[in-house]
């Protein structure tokens, strides 16, 4: 029963973070929200008896993807003609 309540809470959190990722004006906040979706998903994988997928999602989906997004945002900010 406690697992069911946790999964429902995590799913609601994922949906909220998805709306933040789509509608927030600041791009950096949106990227971090998409990373939080991946982190919540890795907890769900752990409940669904898939520890391999949980490790992969936590290390690739929520760390390396966010890092690549930030490198590209940094390059775009660096090449901005208005500054």
Partner 1 sequence: MKILKNSILLVLLGFMTWMLFNLYKDYDSRDTLNDTARYYAEKGPDETGAANLVTSVVVTYRGLDTLGEVTILFLVSAIIGLLLKTENGTRKTAMRASSEFMITAAKLLIPMISLIGVYIFVNGHLTPGGGFQGGAILASTFILLLISISRNKIGHKVLELTEALSGLSFVLIGILGVILAAGFLDNKILGTGTFGSLLSAGAIPIIYSLIGLKVGAELSTIILELNQVQGKED
Partner 2 sequence: MKYLGLEYITVIAGFLLLIVGLWGIISQKNIIKMIISFSIIDTSIHLLLVAIGFIRNRTAPIIDSSVDKLKAADQITDPLPQALVLTAIVIGIGITGLMLTYALKLYRQNKSLEINQYKSLKW
Tokens 């966010």 correspond to: 66
- We find the least distance from the C-beta atom of residue 21 to partner 2, in angstroms, to be 5
Of 47, 53, 16, 52, the C-alpha closest to 34 is 16
Nearest distance from C-beta of residue 44 to partner 1, angstroms: 16
Residue 29 engages partner 2 in binding (rule: CB under 8 A):
no
CA distance 19 to 30: 9
Decide if 33 contacts 24 (C-beta within 8 A).
Answer: yes
Residue 11 or 56: the one with the smaller Cβ distance to partner 1 is 56
List of residues 6+ apart from 29 with CB closer than 8 A: 20
Q: Applying CB under 8 A, does 7 fall inside the site for partner 2?
A: yes
4 near partner 2, rule: CB under 8 A: yes
Please report whether residue 27 would count as binding partner 2 according to CB under 8 A: yes
Which partner, partner 2, partner 1, none, binds residue 48 by CB below 5 to 8 Å per kind? partner 2
């Amino acid at each position: 029963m406690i697992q069911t309540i946790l999964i429902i809470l995590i799913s609601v959190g994922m949906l909220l973070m998805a709306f933040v990722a789509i509608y927030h004006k600041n791009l950096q906040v949106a990227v971090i929200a998409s990373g939080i979706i991946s982190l919540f998903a890795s907890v769900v994988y752990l409940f669904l008896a898939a520890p391999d997928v949980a490790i992969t999602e936590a290390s690739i989906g929520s760390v390396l993807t966010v890092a690549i997004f930030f490198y590209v945002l940094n390059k775009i900010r660096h090449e901005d003609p208005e500054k």
